[in-house]
Chain A
């Protein structure tokens, strides 16, 4: 087993009146693309800044490449950061910005020049080296910030919401670009984001944070398919959460009484008791005019309340009995034609194994 490049051990950071980071521990492996994901105020940026050494006076240990960072100031840590605002120095040219980190640490000019050119080429800014930042677009400024951090050859690159200021198209492009860069350079990237699509598409592993704590750490697929809690299920993608009460556990699964569905049997590995949530992704649901042929499917009869058309798919909201609201993702193929009308009576059904039981 390889040794982790970063170990976070019982890290806590308090501000007056709030716990920003609450006893967090996890490891990040070399060459990993790791995402810290969570809503604003969950402590993800604080944790990143603690790794960078910009936020001090926390407790616990941050170990980077076997070296405890306790008491090591920001300017001596083997990590570099891409700031949310990019913080590209406006009074320096692109080249001077990239060279800055080498200059201040005494790298000789002869060594500096080729490294700067190499970093600029890496982010495709070679032709803009003599421009000032105010002559660059937002995307280009971000590339400068990237090159400026990468030229230092850090062991870990920290990215604080790097794509949040870019428009949707550029953001998508930069997501691929960052993933490519990370593969080419082969160092660890830690990205902070509140955008789940960003985390899912780029990261090898994601830590979902809420109120200063880590709720779940897993790969994108596992996080999406097997969330451990209501919070994670709800935060990652869209999901239907149905209140239910467990009435029995048997070999074939957990029997529960669910709101609007009556008695259902759901396959489940772990423990389950009392009040739970049944969680099912909207794309697992199927809409049909007739009751489903397979008797084992969970199904609910309801009325289409709203159809949101997105071109390739439609989000359909179905109101069922007992106040149960279900969101259904429907591919806009021939089968869906004619079915998706407001007020139409439909059956929403899905396979029991697509259902997750989330303990409250």
Chain B
């Protein structure tokens, strides 16, 4: 790692494009939005940065706190469901024959090849009252003669509620959970699991006492990769949630578009970012304690 000091020219030439890119398309826009969050609208198109905290204070009005809180718990549940489904998938791929693994991983990544919007509309086609799932259930209902015994099948209202948003988010973010889990489980030395069994532990005990702690880095990466973008998601709640499942991402989009209140949208965006930074800081703190601790 010392070598870059001896070859400064090479270092700068290779680092420059990345630095310029980040500066132009990430840091400067971010700084603009951050500045805007302390600004006021002076006309339909003009914003003056006055250093006011009014936008932030407005964010703490009950209606917004409620939406932020709802965004957090929907994201927490979606992340948990994602983890519960992704862990067995990742485990299964790792323990499948080596020649099957690339294909199985491809199946996990495959949804990325289709536009998110199209995939979400496809979910609507599956879950709506006259959708694939309800038709299937109706067919099974009739097959069991329940229509004669109980009465005609009543289609389930599966869309436009919190449940639909959670299902949609889990579906969209699943690969981001599977891949980091796969990467850590694959590197896990199986002799740890064998040692645990050899010492008399049951399969369950081995899973919770050895496998989970040793794959914790993958679990944490997966949670971060999934939870943070879920928190700001607006497309899925917009399409699947209808009006009563609105999340903070939708409020922010509305401020920038329909409401034309960029300063308030900026403040809400940064509020979300502060929450994220706090979560990452907590994780870093826990991580350093786990590593350095002697008999904690």
- Asked if chains A and B come from one complex, the reply is yes
A91 at the interface (CB under 8 A from B): yes
Is A85 in contact with B198, judged by CB distance below 8 angstroms? no
In the complex, the answer to whether A73 meets B197 with C-beta atoms within 8 Å is: yes
Interface pair B294/A101, CB less than 8 Å apart = no
Q: Is the CB of A85 within 8 A of B199?
A: no
Given A90-B214, A91-B214, A130-B295, A100-B198 contact (CB < 8 Å) = no
- Chain A minimum-CB-distance residue to B214: A91
* Complex partner residue of A87 from B194, B201, B202, B213, CB under 8 angstroms: B194
**Alpha-carbon gap, A135 to B191, bound state (A):** 20
Closest residue to B193 on the A side, CB-wise?
A: A87
Are A100 and B199 closer than 8 Å at their CB atoms? yes
Does the CB pair A100–B295 fall under 8 Å? no
- What is the distance, in angstroms, from A75's C-beta to the closest C-beta of chain B? 5
Return B288 CB to nearest CB of chain A, in Å: 14
Decide if A74 touches B191 in the complex (CB within 8 Å): no
The answer to whether the Cβ of A89 comes within 8 Å of any Cβ in the partner chain is yes
Selected contact of B199 from candidates A73, A80, A91, A135, CB within 8 Å: A80
- When distances are taken between beta carbons in the complex, the residues of chain B under 8 Å from A52 are 198
Neighbour of A83 across the interface among B195, B205, B209, B214, CB < 8 A: B195
Besides A81-B195, A93-B295, A104-B209, 9 more A-B contacts (Cβ < 8 Å) are: A53-B198, A54-B198, A75-B199, A87-B191, A87-B195, A90-B214, A131-B294, A132-B294, A149-B199
A127 to chain B, nearest CB (A): 13
- Near A by CB (< 8 A), chain B positions 155-213 give 189, 191-192, 194-202, 205, 209-210, 213
- A87 & B192 in contact (Cβ 8 Å cutoff): yes
Distance (Å) between the CB of B286 and the closest chain A CB? 13
Q: Say whether A75 contacts B201, CB under 8 Å.
A: yes
Minimum CB–CB distance for A330 against chain B, Å: 45
Contact yes or no, B199 A104, CB < 8 A: yes
Cβ–Cβ < 8 Å partners of A80 in chain B: 198-199
Which residue from A84, A91, A101 sits with its C-beta under 8 Å from B200? Answer: A101
Which B residue sits closest to A54, measured CB to CB? B194
A152 CB contacts on chain B under 8 angstroms: 199-200
Total of A-B residue pairs, C-beta within 8 Å: 69
Q: Whole-angstrom distance between the alpha carbons of A104 and B199 in the complex?
A: 8
**Contact between A54 and B210 (Cβ–Cβ < 8 Å)?**
no
Asked if B200 and A85 make an inter-chain contact with CB atoms under 8 angstroms apart, the answer reads: no
| Residue A155, interface by CB 8 Å | no
Residues on the B chain within 8 Å of A100, using CB: 196, 199, 201, 209
Q: Which of A61-102 contact B (CB under 8 A)?
A: 73-76, 80-81, 83-85, 87, 89-91, 93, 100-101
- Tell me whether B205 and A104 are in contact (CB under 8 A): yes
Known A-B contacts A130-B294, A132-B294; the reply to A104 vs B200 at CB < 8 A is: yes
CA distance A76 to B210 in the complex (A): 18
- Smallest CB gap from B190: residue in A: A87
A54 to B210, CA, bound (A): 17
CA–CA, A116 and B133, complex, Å:
57
Q: How far is the CA of A52 from the CA of B191 in the complex (A)?
A: 13
Q: Which of B189, B197, B202, B214 has the most CB of A within 10 A?
A: B197
